[in-house]
Amino acid sequence: MIGLRLAALALLLTACGGEVAMATPTPHCRPAPSLAPPSAAAAPVSATADQAQVDPGGTVTFTETAAGPATVQVDCAQPLQVVVTDGTGLSVYGGYSPPAPASACEEVDLAAGAAETYQVTWPVESSIPGGTYTATLILGDAPELTLTLAVGTLPGEC
């Protein structure tokens, strides 16, 4: 019985010996292009993110500036709000900047050349799937601004 099994194994090895294993070629990998941090503007405000692409577990800081001449109504407790949505429109994060000093909230009257700056940071969860996300920045009664960011590696990158 053992001899029969060894004979079958020898036959199998002999039959398979004629095949040559071919390695699968590795696809050509190109480095990711450098992405400029996103920005947006609608008078009297402008906004930027400190980076265009972030890894899960990282952070992105959004900065919004109101510039004069203008008057803007700004909440004192939570002046700048950010709402981040995924590609399907699902909200994945909502946060606020720290309270603003009295001079930078309620009715902020900015003379020509004057400006007030507000910041909020998005701590990107380590479990968030890679893809494109939209951050909507809301500063009182100023126009809402949107910035598009990439989380993780985008298709076609290494």
Residue-wise pLDDT tens digits, 59-73: 999 999 999 999 999
Provide CB contacts within 8 A for 56, sequence distance 6+. 124, 125, 126, 127, 128, 130, 151, 152
Question: pLDDT, tens digit, for every residue of 51-100?
Answer: 999 999 999 999 999 999 999 999 999 999 999 999 999 999 999 999 99
Can you give the pLDDT at residue 36?
Answer: 87
* Spatial CA neighbour of 140 closest among 32, 23, 45: 45
Q: Does a structural domain hold residue 74?
A: yes
Is there a domain that residue 19 lies in?
Answer: no
Please calculate the CA angle 16-17-22 and round it to the nearest 5 degrees.
90
Q: So what's the pLDDT on residue 155?
A: 52
Task: Tally the domains of the chain.
Answer: 1
| Per-residue pLDDT reduced to its tens digit, 16-42 | 454 444 444 444 443 444 578 999 999
Q: Is residue 24 part of a domain?
A: no
Instruction: Domain of residue 129: give its range.
Output: 37-151
CATH number reported for the structural domain that contains residue 84 in this entry: 2.60.40.1930
Residue at 45 is within a domain: yes
C-alpha to C-alpha distance for 63 and 103, rounded to whole angstroms:
18
Tell me whether residue 44 is in a domain: yes
92 within domain boundaries = yes
pLDDT at 18: 46
- For the segment 111-131, the average pLDDT, to the nearest whole number, is 95
Q: How far apart are CA 98 and CA 101, in angstroms?
A: 10
Say if 31 falls within a structural domain.
no
pLDDT band for position 154 (cuts 50, 70, 90): low
Q: Is residue 109 part of a domain?
A: yes
